């Protein structure tokens, strides 16, 4: 064989008969995922926040890198990892989230300012800045900037939905004033979206007290005594017929011991009652997260919803 740098198209394929070999055809469109880690998207008051970015890749369509632009651009899902609004473990769910990326989505996992650093609405503002960042750097990360969705689980589900209704474009919180943070659709995985009823977080003994996750997220407020702040943090209490919000898909387990299933039910009902598009899926027997939410069946539902609204 000639000694040179062979291009893929010109490299000769092995085609000799081999006894006992089983030949499998490939197309070059089989999807893998490239991981770009710890990309800083904002620095607020000296605090750096990063994204974990997962980019679909295949033999025919490789992920971009320095000196090589992407040959294909994908819809983008900005994903908010749950953490009870406290310090996130943004790497913990990478294997599951990669399954979504392998369906043909650039997925950017958001690290937001946790409740030990900043209180509500800081996570929402951070998420909207992450959306803007991905649009600003669309070419670098193979993103189609016209097709962006936001998704999250648990407190991240709360943040994702709120990111769809808190339109903060004309405030100092917007670090990219010339770039939109609006999305085509929203996916809420078992979001902690409602603090108005007693057992909304059944596993939390200090529910709504200042040292509870929700109390800390509201700056150490006693939400049992402050109905106004409790309702401010509850998404459905901030939705009416005039609210501008993209279509929402909710998924919640029926045996969720951390966030009451009714949180998603009540939010879905409020959205429908106020004339907004909302879809609710209840997973029989599922707890707070777990493999059930990343199965072929559930990801099929998510994929169909995203494709319907993003193309």
pLDDT digit string, tens, across residues 108-123: 999 999 999 999 999 9
User: Can you tell me the distance from the alpha carbon of 112 to that of 114, in angstroms, rounded to the nearest whole number?
Assistant: 6
| Prediction pTM value | 0.94
User: Can you tell me the distance from the alpha carbon of 263 to that of 154, in angstroms, rounded to the nearest whole number?
Assistant: 11
Identify the burial level of 153 via C-beta atoms within 10 angstroms of its C-beta, where 0-12 means exposed, 13-18 middle and 19 or more buried: buried
Mean pLDDT, to the nearest integer, of 236-240? 97
At residue 63, the pLDDT reads: 85
* Pair 207, 198: CB distance under 8 Å: yes
User: Can you tell me the distance from the alpha carbon of 282 to that of 137, in angstroms, rounded to the nearest whole number?
Assistant: 36
Mean pLDDT, to the nearest integer, of 12-32? 95
pLDDT, tens digit, 9 for 90 and up, residues 172-188: 999 999 999 999 999 99
Q: What are phi and psi for residue 196, nearest 5 degrees?
A: -90, -15
At residue 205, the pLDDT reads: 76
pLDDT, tens digit, 9 for 90 and up, residues 241-260: 999 999 999 999 999 999 99
E strands in 154-223: 186-189
pLDDT at 67 over 80: no
The residue behind tokens 């193979």 is 142
CB atoms within 10 A of CB 91: 12
CATH number 3.20.20.80 given to 34-310: no
pLDDT band at 311 (very low <50, low <70, confident <90, very high): confident
DSSP string, 33-54: EEEEEEEEEEEETTEEEEEEEE
Share of the chain above pLDDT 90, in %: 87
User: Can you tell me the distance from the alpha carbon of 142 to that of 85, in angstroms, rounded to the nearest whole number?
Assistant: 30
């Amino acid at each position: 064989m000639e000694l040179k740098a062979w291009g893929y198209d010109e490299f000769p394929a092995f085609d000799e008969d081999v006894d006992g070999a089983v030949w499998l055809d490939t197309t070059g469109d089989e999807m893998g995922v490239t991981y770009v880690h710890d990309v800083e998207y904002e620095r607020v008051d000296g605090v750096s926040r990063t994204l974990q970015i997962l980019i679909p890749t295949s033999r025919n369509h490789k992920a971009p890198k320095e000196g090589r632009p992407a040959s294909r651009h994908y819809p983008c899902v900005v994903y908010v990892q749950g953490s009870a609004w406290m310090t996130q473990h943004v790497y913990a769910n990478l294997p599951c989230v990669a399954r979504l990326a392998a369906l043909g989505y650039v997925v950017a996992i958001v690290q937001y300012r946790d409740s030990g650093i900043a209180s509500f609405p800081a996570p929402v503002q951070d998420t909207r800045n992450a959306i803007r960042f991905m649009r600003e750097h669309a070419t670098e990360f193979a993103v189609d900037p016209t097709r962006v969705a936001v998704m999250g689980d648990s407190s991240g589900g709360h943040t994702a939905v709120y990111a769809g209704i808190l339109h903060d474009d004309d405030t100092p919180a917007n670090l990219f004033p010339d770039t939109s943070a609006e999305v085509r659709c929203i996916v809420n995985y078992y979001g902690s979206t409602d603090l108005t009823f007693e057992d909304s977080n059944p596993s939390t003994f200090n529910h709504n007290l200042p040292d509870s996750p929700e109390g800390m997220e509201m700056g150490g407020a006693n939400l049992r005594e402050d109905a106004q702040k409790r309702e401010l943090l509850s998404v459905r209490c901030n939705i009416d017929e005039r609210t501008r919000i993209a279509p929402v898909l909710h998924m919640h387990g029926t045996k969720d011991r951390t966030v009451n299933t009714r949180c998603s039910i009540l939010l879905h009902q409020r959205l429908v009652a106020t004339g907004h598009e909302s879809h609710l899926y209840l997973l029989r027997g599922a707890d707070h997260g777990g493999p059930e939410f990343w199965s072929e069946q559930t990801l099929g539902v998510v994929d169909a919803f995203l494709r319907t609204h993003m193309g």
